[in-house]
């Protein structure tokens, strides 16, 4: 089985979708001739033509709105926003239109679109290139929000997102675009969009994360294993709608939970998970839930971004703390 990077897996999934479905179109700033600033769409315009894979003008609200208009006509648009920090002009389209076209027409029109955008910090990028504002998106009824954490799941999740009959925002963890490799067979098989993945089984504590932080969370799990702590790691993968049952089942088993995300803490998606556990898993808990997150500051410019983001050491410390609690 070929070992590929996460960005290669994205490219493979896009190529597969373009091959399988004549209605799929892929566009965004620099996605055509240049193949995307991260090379996610490399070679696609050459293979599938400039009608299906094209450069959009520098207009993020347009990119979102084009998706809505195309999707209402039965195309399967896959738009790209170059960095998450440039997504905000497009939020109007996501909140007011994409997420509710089906509802406001009671099913007469629908919006089967995908909006891809890089997510997160850690690549020493300029200001506004390191955003992780997934919680904002996960608050929008009618959307799906997906964040893969490994090539093998990125491929299947993106294919499923493109095939889904509703709008999906697909956040691609920039820091691990090339930092992780995995076995990806180009089978054309999608993965379910409503399940979380237990990627390491354990009995002592549940670690929940998504996107690039899954890698650090797994490293933390390895580190505490040497101390005899048997950590279970859940890759949430789909934030909206998220898989409550897998979380609750794991908490029932371990009684302890650490949630890890790089976004700011207040109102972050970790708060939603902690609230779920408080509402429906409280009696299983042996220790308070701990969140290891970015701080409630503006994400700093690159010189301090590593201090902002949860490190393996911070995760390990939180795991030790919750496991000592009695």
Binding site for another protein (CB under 8 A): 25, 51, 56-57, 59, 61-62, 64-75, 77, 89, 92-93, 96-97, 102-110, 141-142, 165-166, 194, 241-244
Shortest distance in whole angstroms from residue 253 CB to another protein: 21
What DSSP letter does each residue of 237-272 carry, written as one string?
-EEET--HHHHHHHHHHH--EEEEEEEESTT-HHHH
Kindly tell me which of 106 and 326 has the beta carbon lying closer to another protein.
Answer: 106
- Tokens found for residue 25: 């179109």
Please say which residue, 223 or 244, places its beta carbon nearer to another protein: 244
Task: Tell me if residue 97 is catalytic.
Answer: no
Shortest spacing between CB 249 and another protein, in angstroms: 14
CB of 108 to another protein, least distance (A): 5
Cis peptide before 320 (omega within 30 of 0): no
Catalytic residue (choose from 97, 119, 129, 261): 129
Q: CB of 24: closest distance to another protein in angstroms?
A: 11
Alpha helices in the chain (DSSP H): 6-20, 44-48, 60-72, 91-93, 101-104, 134-138, 151-163, 213-225, 244-254, 269-280, 302-308, 312-324
Cα 229 to Cα 222: distance, rounded to the nearest angstrom: 9
Cβ proximity to another protein, 96 vs 311, nearer residue: 96
Q: Which residue lies nearer to another protein by CB, 16 or 102?
A: 102
- The residue among 107 and 228 lying less far from another protein, judged by its C-beta, is 107
Q: Are 33 and 175 in contact (CB under 8 A)?
A: no
| Number of neighbours of residue 310 by Cβ within 10 angstroms | 22
Least separation, in Å, of the C-beta of 66 and another protein?
4
For residue 151, CA distances in Å to 155, 158, 271, 300 come to 6, 10, 27, 28
Annotated catalytic sites, by residue?
129
């Amino acid at each position: 089985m070929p070992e590929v990077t996460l960005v290669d897996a994205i490219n493979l999934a896009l190529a597969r979708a373009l091959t399988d479905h004549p209605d799929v179109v892929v566009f965004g700033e620099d996605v055509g001739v240049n193949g995307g600033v991260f090379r996610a769409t490399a070679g696609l315009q050459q293979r599938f033509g400039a009608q299906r894979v094209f450069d959009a003008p520098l207009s993020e609200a347009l990119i979102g709105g084009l998706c809505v208009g195309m999707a209402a006509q039965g195309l399967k648009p896959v738009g790209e926003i170059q960095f998450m920090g440039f997504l905000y002009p497009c939020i109007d389209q996501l909140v007011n239109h994409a997420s509710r076209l089906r509802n406001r027409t009671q099913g007469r029109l629908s919006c089967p679109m995908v909006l891809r955008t890089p997510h997160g910090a850690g690549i020493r990028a300029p200001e506004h290139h390191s955003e992780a504002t997934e919680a904002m998106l996960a608050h929008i009824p009618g959307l799906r929000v997906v964040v893969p954490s490994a090539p093998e799941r990125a491929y299947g999740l993106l294919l499923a997102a493109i095939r889904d009959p509703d709008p999906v925002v697909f956040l691609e963890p920039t820091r691990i675009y090339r930092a992780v490799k995995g076995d990806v067979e180009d089978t054309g098989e999608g993965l379910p969009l409503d399940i979380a993945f237990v990627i390491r089984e354990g009995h002592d504590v549940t670690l929940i994360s998504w996107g690039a932080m899954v890698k650090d969370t797994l490293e933390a799990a390895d580190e505490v294993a040497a101390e005899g702590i048997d950590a279970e790691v859940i890759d949430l993968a789909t934030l909206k709608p998220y898989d409550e049952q897998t979380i609750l089942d794991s908490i029932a088993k371990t009684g302890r939970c650490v949630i890890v995300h790089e976004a700011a803490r207040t109102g972050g998606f970790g708060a939603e998970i902690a609230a779920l556990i408080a509402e429906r898993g409280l009696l299983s808990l042996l220790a308070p839930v701990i969140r290891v997150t970015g701080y409630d500051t503006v994400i700093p410019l690159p010189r301090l971004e590593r201090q902002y983001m949860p490190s393996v050491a911070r995760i390990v410390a939180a795991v030790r703390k919750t496991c000592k609690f009695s």
